[in-house]
Structure 1
Amino acid sequence: MRVTYLGFFLLLWFPGVLHAQSAARHCDAPRLPHGYIVSEQNEYDHGRTLTYACEKGHKPAVEGWWATSTCQSGTWSPKPQCIVEEGCIPPTIPNAKYTESLTGWYEEGDKIRITCDEAYELKNNDATAVCTNGSWSSVPVCERSDDACDAPPKVPHAVIVDHGYQELFAADTHLQYECEDGYTAEGAGNDKTIVCIAGTWTEGPTCSSAATPGAGHGGSTEGATGGSGTQPAGRGTTPSTGHGGGSSDSSLQPAGGGSSTTSDSNGSDSRPSFLPINNCGRYPFVPYAAVEAGRMNLRYRCDEYHTLVGLDTVVCHSDRSWSKLPDCKEKSCVLNPARYPLLQLSGFQHLTGAWKHFHCIWPGYYTFVMCDNGEITTGQCCNYYGHCL
């Protein structure tokens, strides 16, 4: 009996609390300028969905000419909104991010700039989109980077630590394995870390039972000492001076495919395939390219007038030589000042299919140049009186 009275007493004392909890799950009817709502009422229960459309000259701030919104604990989601027909709703661009509008939509002429997520890069270097007459012009695309890596290889009796699972990893990503209790990391110089280089993971460890004697603890052979900069057995590649060249692409070993290392008396690896780039000295020079340095690799990017040929990522081998360098090949329809010394050119220039006027090196003389099907055609240098050289 006392319990019943106590419950009745609480209801009398806390009616405001109970009403607030109940009201929090309802939504007031939304205000919708330039639009109208089907089955309009003053209040909507939690979970209730309404349908709305917009007046002529306006459209919903979502795809389609009509839209829905759902009451979620006192808030409408998505917010019912009618915008002008020339406006744009936020574009959906996979694997990318951009600054979103505070109003939830964009006006005619608004421009957004895209930044791709790690392991992705812009297609055709197109990073912007413009709202034009209610739609986006040339929406950028973020595609997988050529030097990105898939999920790392599975190592029995080991897990990846300090990193959640994902399907794609950016170049120069470092992941660390940790062996389960009772197992010890062996191989790859006992290094538990793997690195994403040029689309491939470096070789990882093997987790062996602690009861099994580990390899790699014997003395070194005469042919491969452990000294700094010593030539590894069987490679036959001299250390690079940092001016280019380097060894072939085949030395970029995939995970599990072996590594270029020295060997001890038991035939086990004693040095990893790759070293941090500061072990290889001065960075190699690639004409018409800029270089970005990471901890384990260099990445080269050609300028807008040249196309990269070969791998854009260069690594430092265990013998302190650079891997093979890429080249920057001149694109078609590009005027190179060195090839056209009679033209006044301040630098490389792109050409289109139309004839373009250029001044010659002689004052008062000019010519016309055109590129058709990748071939550049030049005329004679003539002055305005018709005299040609």
Structure 2
Amino acid sequence: MFIRYLGFVLLIWFPGGLHAQDATQSCVAPSLDGGFFSPKQDTYYHGTKLTYTCENGHKPTVKGWWASSTCQNGKWSHEPRCIDEKACFAPTIPNANYTKNQDGWYEEGYKIRITCDTGYEPKNNDATAVCTNGTWSSVLVCEKSTLACGEPPQIPHALIIHQGYQEVFAVDSEVQYKCKDGYTMGEAKNKKSIICISGNWTPGPTCRPSTNSGLNDRKPPFATRPSTNSGLNDRKPPFATRPSTNSGLNDSKPSFTTIDQCGSPPNVLDGLVVEESLRSLTYKCNSYYKLIGPDTVVCYSDGTWSEVPTCADRFCSVNTDKDPKLIPNGVTYIKYGDTVELECKDEHMFKNFSVARCTDGRLTVSRCCNRLQIRTNTC
């Protein structure tokens, strides 16, 4: 009588205990065909852990010969189940996607085909695997494509306008830069972006101090103009080349002066300024182009620039979208003297490739061959 009374008092003092018990749901015992579990009960309170194993010829749906599952608010953390021991678990393949089974396992004979992430390709051209006797027929790997690029180069005083960091960029990827405050790329003379071409990034922009940034003390000393209070001879830059007294008609040719007297630097398509001095600009073409003409440009005293170079093509291009034997993948660029393997359309077990060669601007594209034919130069 006393114990019953004491229990009644405790229920009055701790009503929250009843509410907490009602707030969580119990789990019913699993139906485990081909296995057994412990502890054996009809229902299990929230938080109870159940251990199970499977009979010969079967295995749990998680790795190992035994497994455990926990009751969580009326559901098991994973449904206890025994499957055929010849079934396969889902493989872990970095940088790849494939059709995933919601159950997390695959029956024997099931075939998966991977699709590598952008910038990656199947190693050894192996993109499929078959579940055989509990294991996959091959280990699928996605490795960085030979045409892909690594992380973009770091440019002083600039940052990349790109959503999220990534280590690999597919061919033809474009990355844009932006100068930090106080710096500028000039009047669009520098390209603001770089492009991944056959594993290499094209040259990037240059960020120079802005002329209206308020940082006048950082302005290059050669940008100042000659003093207006000096004599006529003093107004001529000290290093300017004077006309030869024996030149005759050449006396009319203007002398050189500082480059700030000529205004904005000349724009060279597919090229950029790689060196700037008091009296000259040095140009360089992008990696897929050749410089034609002088690489150095100077400013004449009459405010005109000397001969400006041009950048001529040094590459071939293949539009895989227009070649019926190739898998369409856009335009591929090939430097002079280089070769590129392009994947062919075929139904063979192993992939075939066409070899594209660029020889002094002349493009040749071979028939579709296997790897052995390519390595032995019989393609």
TM-score normalised to structure 1 length:
0.55
Q: How does 1:113-128 map to 2 (within 5 A)?
A: 113-128=113-128
1:345 alignment partner in structure 2: none
Instruction: Report the CA distance between 1:331 and its aligned residue.
Output: 5.3
2:354 and 2:365 in contact (8 A); partners too: no
AA of the residue aligned to 2:91: P
1:291 and 1:300 in contact (8 A); partners too: no
1:160 and 1:175 in contact (8 A); partners too: yes
Q: What does the per-residue CA deviation read over 1:278-330, in whole Å, with 9 as the maximum and x for residues that have no partner? A: xx99969x99973756478477615455564779xx9xxxxxx9698776796
* Unpaired runs of at least 5, structure 2: 1-13, 224-258, 274-284, 300-304, 335-339, 345-350
Instruction: Report the CA distance between 1:110 and its aligned residue.
Output: 1.3
Question: Secondary structure of the residue that 1:154 maps to in structure 2?
Answer: coil
Whole-angstrom CA distance in 1 between matches of 2:86 and 2:264: 75
Q: How does 1:151-230 map to 2 (within 5 A)?
A: 151-185=151-185, 189-210=189-210, 211=213, 218=262
Whole-angstrom CA distance in 2 between matches of 1:71 and 1:196: 52
Report the number of matched residues: 286
Root-mean-square deviation (CA, aligned residues, Å) is 5.2
2:317 and 2:333 in contact (8 A); partners too: no
Q: 1:182 to 1:62 in 2, by over 3 A?
A: same
AA of the residue aligned to 2:84: V
Select between 71-80 and 146-155 the one with higher mean Cα deviation. Answer: 71-80
AA of the residue aligned to 1:301: L
2:44 alignment partner in structure 1: 43
Question: Secondary structure of the residue that 2:326 maps to in structure 1?
Answer: strand
Whole-angstrom CA distance in 2 between matches of 1:327 and 1:149: 26
Whole-angstrom CA distance in 2 between matches of 1:325 and 1:163: 38
Q: 1:164 to 1:204 in 2, by over 3 A?
A: same
Instruction: Report the CA distance between 1:99 and its aligned residue.
Output: 0.7
Q: 1:330 to 1:137 in 2, by over 3 A?
A: closer
Question: Secondary structure of the residue that 1:169 maps to in structure 2?
Answer: coil
The percentage of aligned residue pairs carrying the same residue is: 41
Q: 1:85 to 1:185 in 2, by over 3 A?
A: same
Q: How does 1:353-372 map to 2 (within 5 A)?
A: none
Q: How does 1:1-389 map to 2 (within 5 A)?
A: 22-23=23-24, 30-39=30-39, 42-46=43-47, 50-70=50-70, 75-185=75-185, 189-210=189-210, 211=213, 218=262, 253=287, 265=298, 290=326, 292=328, 294=330, 297=333, 301=342, 303=344, 308=355
Instruction: Report the CA distance between 1:108 and its aligned residue.
Output: 1.8
2:87 and 2:107 in contact (8 A); partners too: yes
Instruction: Report the CA distance between 1:62 and its aligned residue.
Output: 2.3
1:387 alignment partner in structure 2: none
Whole-angstrom CA distance in 2 between matches of 1:110 and 1:190: 54
Q: 1:178 to 1:149 in 2, by over 3 A?
A: same
Q: 1:65 to 1:203 in 2, by over 3 A?
A: same
Whole-angstrom CA distance in 2 between matches of 1:45 and 1:73: 6
1:290 and 1:300 in contact (8 A); partners too: no
Q: 1:253 to 1:57 in 2, by over 3 A?
A: same
Question: Secondary structure of the residue that 1:130 maps to in structure 2?
Answer: strand
Q: What does the per-residue CA deviation read over 1:122-151, in whole Å, with 9 as the maximum and x for residues that have no partner? A: 122222111122221123221111112111
Q: 1:220 to 1:263 in 2, by over 3 A?
A: farther
Question: Secondary structure of the residue that 2:124 maps to in structure 1?
Answer: helix
2:11 alignment partner in structure 1: none
Question: Secondary structure of the residue that 1:149 maps to in structure 2?
Answer: coil
Instruction: Report the CA distance between 1:202 and its aligned residue.
Output: 1.5
Q: 1:102 to 1:187 in 2, by over 3 A?
A: same
Instruction: Report the CA distance between 1:332 and its aligned residue.
Output: 7.9
Q: 1:302 to 1:15 in 2, by over 3 A?
A: closer
2:146 and 2:198 in contact (8 A); partners too: yes
Q: 1:253 to 1:281 in 2, by over 3 A?
A: closer
* Unpaired runs of at least 5, structure 1: 1-10, 234-250, 315-320, 335-373, 377-389
Question: Secondary structure of the residue that 2:86 maps to in structure 1?
Answer: coil
2:175 and 2:193 in contact (8 A); partners too: yes
Question: Secondary structure of the residue that 1:150 maps to in structure 2?
Answer: coil
Whole-angstrom CA distance in 1 between matches of 2:272 and 2:35: 76
Whole-angstrom CA distance in 2 between matches of 1:375 and 1:209: 53
1:289 and 1:300 in contact (8 A); partners too: no
Q: What does the per-residue CA deviation read over 1:158-178, in whole Å, with 9 as the maximum and x for residues that have no partner? A: 322232011222111111122
2:158 and 2:207 in contact (8 A); partners too: yes
